[in-house]
Amino acid sequence: MKVQRRHRKLVEIIREKESASVEELAGHLQASRETIRRDLTKLSRQGKIQKVHGGAVMPSVFAEGTFQQRMSENAAAKMHIAAAAAKLFVPNETLFINTGSTSLYFAEELAARSGLTIVTNSTEIAKAVSMGGKENQTFLLGGAYVAGNRQTLGSMVNEQIEQFSAHHTILAIGALTPGRGVMEFKHDEAELARAMLKRSRSLTILADGSKFTGLASFAVCDLGRVDRLVCDAMPPADIRAEVEQNGCEIIVV
């Protein structure tokens, strides 16, 4: 197994299970314990996992409350979505990215690319991109800090968004609902997403299959506003019809 693929699989296993031993990982990947230990050391330095005696656990930044739970839910699907989505963007483009578990996985993929400008309200996304060591610009929007999700929200954040013009907005969202559109769980998160949309040319949604059956309360935009939908399963027919009405590209990974 190639090193890059093995590293991706290691991160996937650890984030899904929240912890794994060297022995367990070596058996699963059919690699030596020494190889796995070296891999874990490298991945730990990158902040993708946290190495502990005898194995590895979720990164400490994820290791509390509901954010940890969301990072481990459907982790494999979210990582595949993130990897596919990162290939859609090219140097010299500016991207708005909101807070979310899938968008944080996406930011880790972007960190390996160069020449992008990232504007986000997530401290962890800003950190992930900045630590990539590539030639990317990162802007963290300032405002009222919400510790649970490591994000800033509110009128100050939305006003700062007005200072930027972006090629793309990339959203991890609460739900996609036929007849109601792209939805968020919280009013201020929906407001932030709408502010980003106003200042960008296109919208890409990152959504695992759970977003097609979930329910969220606050509208961001109509489904017809979506330019690209990156997901792990083809959406139901009613959602698909709405997102495709204005030529949305559906990318299933």
User: Which pLDDT score, from 0 to 100, does residue 59 have?
Assistant: 76
User: Which pLDDT score, from 0 to 100, does residue 68 have?
Assistant: 60
Instruction: Express each pLDDT in 234-245 by its tens digit.
Output: 999 999 999 998
Q: What is the CATH number of domain 67-252?
A: 3.40.50.1360
Helix/strand/coil (H/E/C) assignment for every residue in the chain:
CCHHHHHHHHHHHHHHHCEEEHHHHHHHHCCCHHHHHHHHHHHHHCCCCEEECCEEECCHHHCCHHHHHHHHCCHHHHHHHHHHHHCCCCCCCEEEECCCHHHHHHHHHHCCCCCCEEEECEHHHHHHHHCCCCCCEEEECCCEEEHHHCEEECHHHHHHHCCCCEEEEEEECCEEECCCEEEECCHHHHHHHHHHHHCEEEEEEEECHHHHCCCCCEEEECHHHCCEEEECCCCCHHHHHHHHCCCCEEEEC
List Cα–Cα distances, 113 to 61, 86, 131, 223, in angstroms: 22, 8, 12, 29
User: Which pLDDT score, from 0 to 100, does residue 4 have?
Assistant: 83
Instruction: Express each pLDDT in 126-185 by its tens digit.
Output: 999 998 878 999 999 999 999 888 899 999 999 999 999 999 999 999 999 999 999 999
Query: Where exactly are the structural domains of the chain?
Result: 3-61, 67-252
User: Which pLDDT score, from 0 to 100, does residue 72 have?
Assistant: 67
Instruction: Express each pLDDT in 68-122 by its tens digit.
Output: 666 667 888 998 999 999 999 999 999 999 999 999 999 999 999 999 999 999 9
Q: What is the CATH number of domain 3-61?
A: 1.10.10.10
**pLDDT exceeds 50 at position 36:** yes
Q: What is the pLDDT of the chain when averaged over all its residues?
A: 91
- The structure tokens listed for 177 are 């609902």
